[in-house]
């Protein structure tokens, strides 16, 4: 605080000398001066530059110190926010890892931009955007995360066998066993098959009664892969040319964002 007061006083002194200097200049231009006038003018000029140089050095040091304190305070605020968020999530058995700006938990990743006060929540490593918005409190963000995680992981099928048979019914309408089908076509047709009769009569987004996201589909495939059931769907991994979102599905294989990109699928035999 003392340094700030000294800086303000130095600025006022320089301003005062500059004002005196400006008042003397018109007299010099009109030659209404004496020998002592020039001595005073030179003395004022030297005082201004001397004080200005001192002020410049002091200001540089003060700005650097304030910048350091600002960064330390921001770091403390970020750490406090993350600690509170972690506490809220641990109460729901969600453990976060990683470091800012990207935090990882289970099959999800969270990006936080404190400067813009924004967040983005993804399924996988930026695979499917689940939620984004303004950053509020750790409690509110934790509530959003928990809701989105539960929405992905909630049961949608009586069993994985039922899910597998549903995929088979769609596949077998157009393909013979061992013929490869685009996995995104399978997903699209699955979503359509889950809609009400009104949607079939007049297809329209507003008449979609069942929302089934790519992330939910990918998670269900993850669960299906863990099951030992007869005639289970086979997933074909993607190569570089087909590894875009439009023609592939990323399926997690466990924690820490591990997973595989699939582009096609098939069944070995008929049921």
pLDDT digits (tens, 9 = 90+) for 218-270: 999 999 999 999 999 999 997 655 557 778 999 998 767 888 999 999 999 99
**Nearest-angstrom CA–CA distance, 170 and 163:** 11
Contacts of 102 (CB under 8 A, 6+ apart): 109, 110, 111
- Start-to-end Cα distance in the chain: 81
Hey, what's the torsion of the CAs at 163, 169, 171, 173, to 10 degrees? -170
Confidence of residue 28 (pLDDT cuts 50, 70, 90): low
Element (H, E) at 38: helix 35-90
Task: Write down the pTM of the prediction.
Answer: 0.74
Q: What is the pLDDT of residue 217?
A: 97
Cα atoms in the 13 Å half-sphere on the side-chain side of 42:
5
Question: Average pLDDT in the 44-49 region?
Answer: 80
pLDDT at 188 over 90: yes
- Angle CA(69)–CA(75)–CA(78) in degrees, nearest 5? 140
What residues are paired with 3 via a beta bridge?
Answer: none
What tens digit of pLDDT does each residue of 75-107 get?
Answer: 898 899 999 999 999 998 888 888 888 899 889
DSSP type of residue 232: P
C-alpha closest to that of 267 among 188, 156, 183, 192: 183
Residue 35 has pLDDT above 90, yes or no: no
């Amino acid at each position: 605080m003392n340094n700030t007061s000294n800086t303000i006083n130095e600025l006022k002194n320089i301003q005062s000398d500059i004002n005196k200097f400006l008042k003397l200049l018109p007299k010099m231009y009109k030659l209404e001066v004496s020998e002592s006038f020039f001595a005073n003018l030179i003395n004022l000029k030297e005082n201004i530059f001397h004080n200005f140089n001192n002020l410049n050095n002091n200001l540089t040091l003060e700005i650097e110190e304030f910048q350091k304190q600002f960064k330390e305070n921001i770091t403390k605020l970020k750490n406090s926010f993350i600690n509170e968020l972690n506490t809220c999530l641990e109460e729901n058995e969600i453990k976060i890892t990683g470091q800012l700006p990207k935090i990882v938990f289970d099959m999800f990743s969270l990006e936080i931009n404190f400067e813009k006060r924004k967040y983005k929540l993804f399924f996988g490593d930026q695979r499917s955007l689940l939620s984004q918005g303004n950053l509020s409190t750790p409690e509110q963000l934790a509530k959003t995360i928990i809701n989105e995680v539960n929405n992905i992981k909630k049961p949608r099928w009586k069993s994985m066998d039922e899910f597998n048979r549903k995929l088979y019914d769609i596949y077998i309408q157009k393909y013979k066993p061992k013929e490869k089908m685009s996995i995104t076509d399978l997903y699209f047709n699955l979503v359509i098959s889950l809609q009400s009769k009104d949607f079939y009569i007049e297809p329209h987004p507003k008449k979609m009664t069942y929302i089934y996201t790519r992330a939910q589909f990918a998670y269900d495939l993850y669960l299906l892969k863990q099951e030992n059931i007869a005639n289970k769907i086979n997933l074909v991994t993607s190569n570089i040319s087909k590894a875009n979102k439009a023609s592939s599905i990323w399926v997690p294989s466990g924690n820490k964002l591990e997973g595989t990109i699939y582009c096609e699928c098939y069944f070995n035999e008929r049921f």
